[in-house]
Amino acid sequence: MAKRVSLWNAGCPVARALDVIGDWWSLLIIRDAFDGVRRFNEFQAGLGIAKGMLATRLRGLVGKGVLDTAPASDGSAYREYVLTEKGRGLFLVIVALRQWGEDYLYRPGERRSSLVEARTDVPVGKLKLRSAKGRPLEWSDTRVTRC
Amino acid sequence: MAKRVSLWNAGCPVARALDVIGDWWSLLIIRDAFDGVRRFNEFQAGLGIAKGMLATRLRGLVGKGVLDTAPASDGSAYREYVLTEKGRGLFLVIVALRQWGEDYLYRPGERRSSLVEARTDVPVGKLKLRSAKGRPLEWSDTRVTRC
DNA sequence: CAGTATCCCCCCTGATACTG
DNA sequence: CAGTATCAGGGGGGATACTG
């Protein structure tokens, strides 16, 4: 979001990514978009966000190329908000957040949604970092180059 | 961060994760921690964050079990902030953000840091979602179960 | 339904000064 | 160096009313 201080010019892709979707609501809106939400009121009801804030956030995400507007699929006069390819690129960010939440933020037995293969309803596997050649990598096997 | 409205009780691990690290500064602090930053002033100088905010954020992250304090490794009287196992679990979130930033937020030729294998300096591979059996999965192959 | 327009409060955030 | 304290501002964010 346009904060007072923008990290856009940093040479760090993490900072630049957070500059775009690092505010409180954006990732939740995007999560809902991945779950099939398309209409203003659906977002509003699902998130409990104020309408004004939602309008601002949707406008911002469209402006940043994460969402796009499309004519309503049901023929009504209103537009819908759909993920662009850039927006769909955030899928793994959402998945990573989800898997971290599942691993560290729930106690056994607590009800929660889960990400499954659509055809079989089998939970998806855990994300894993690998080398360019496919060997599993831990954090300690990596470093960040100075830019 | 503790906002007015907490999503903690949602049955969605994504929402619960964002409730913990979804504010502007936390992920940047955590990114720096992954890059080896441990001291108050290092964080402060590197992030350009106000000291008061930094103190609040560090306290919050320690309280949430993402960071822990440890005696200074150089023998000085001050403590250091280090990632807990829970905090280290956020590695893939940072990596996912980084890879998205690299893919969609930089033009060819722009300087940026990059994540490489420490031993060889070869860039790591791209994260990929796979089924429980290891088959590559796209977003469209998945769905989120109602909780 | 899909927003826009206002009002208002509080907290984030920055700046500065102070302490061990 | 590693914070705490205090002050001041600006905008994030909620609530409500209004419009096409």
Instruction: For domain B13-88, say whether CATH 1.10.8.50 is its number.
Output: no
Whose CA is nearest the C1' atom of nucleotide C2?
A: A40
Q: What is the pLDDT of residue A135?
A: 97
C-alpha–C-alpha distance, residues A133 and B102, integer Å: 20
Residues 6+ apart with CB under 8 A from B10: B16
Q: What is the pLDDT of residue A121?
A: 97
For residue B108 the two structure tokens come to 């060819």
Residue B73 Cβ < 7 Å to strand D: no
Among B24, B95, B97, the residue with its CB nearest the CB of A23 is B24
Q: What is the pLDDT of residue B139?
A: 98
Task: Please spell the DSSP secondary structure of A36-83, one letter per residue.
Answer: T--SHHHHHHHHT--HHHHHHHHHHHHHTTSEEEEE-TTS-SSEEEEE
Q: What is the pLDDT of residue A77?
A: 78
Q: Per residue of chain A (147 residues), what is the pLDDT tens digit? A: 334 456 676 799 999 999 999 988 999 999 999 999 999 999 999 998 999 999 999 999 999 999 999 998 787 778 899 999 999 999 999 999 999 999 999 999 999 999 999 999 999 999 999 999 999 999 999 999 987
Q: What is the pLDDT of residue B73?
A: 78
**pLDDT > 90 in chain B, percent:** 79
C-alpha–C-alpha distance, residues B120 and A11, integer Å: 22
Mean pLDDT of B81-87: 97
CA distance, residue A113 to nearest chain B CA (Å) = 4
C-alpha–C-alpha distance, residues A90 and A33, integer Å: 11
Residue A49 Cβ < 7 Å to strand D: yes
Residue A51 Cβ < 7 Å to strand C: yes
Distance, Å, B51 CA → C16 C1': 11
Place of tokens 């999503």: B7
Q: Which residues of B32-62 are buried (b: 16+ CB within 10 A; e: fewer)?
A: bbbbebbbbebbbeebebeeeebeebbebbb
- CA proximity to A7, closest of B25, B65, B16, B140: B25
Scanning every residue of chain B, which has its alpha carbon at the shortest distance from the alpha carbon of A122?
A: B132
Mean pLDDT of B12-40: 94
B2: pLDDT confidence band, cut at 50, 70 and 90?
A: very low
Measured between beta carbons, which residues in chain B are less than 8 angstroms from residue A25? none
Q: What is the pLDDT of residue A28?
A: 95
Is residue B91 scored above 60 in pLDDT? yes
Higher-pLDDT residue of A10 and B97 is B97
Measured between beta carbons, which residues in chain B are less than 8 angstroms from residue A123? 132
How is chain B split into domains, by residue range?
13-88
Is B88 in Cβ contact with A13 (below 8 Å)? Answer: no
Phi, psi (5° rounding) for residue B110? -70, 135
CA distance, residue A51 to nearest chain B CA (Å) = 15
Sequence length of chain B is: 147
Higher-pLDDT residue of A3 and B137 is B137
Q: What is the pLDDT of residue B5?
A: 62
Q: What is the pLDDT of residue B17?
A: 95
Is B48 in Cβ contact with A127 (below 8 Å)? Answer: no
Q: What is this structure's pTM?
A: 0.95
Distance, Å, A58 CA → D20 C1': 20
For residue B11 the two structure tokens come to 């049955």
What's the whole-number average pLDDT of chain B? 92
SS3 for A128? coil
Mean pLDDT of B29-57: 93
Q: What is the pLDDT of residue B1?
A: 37
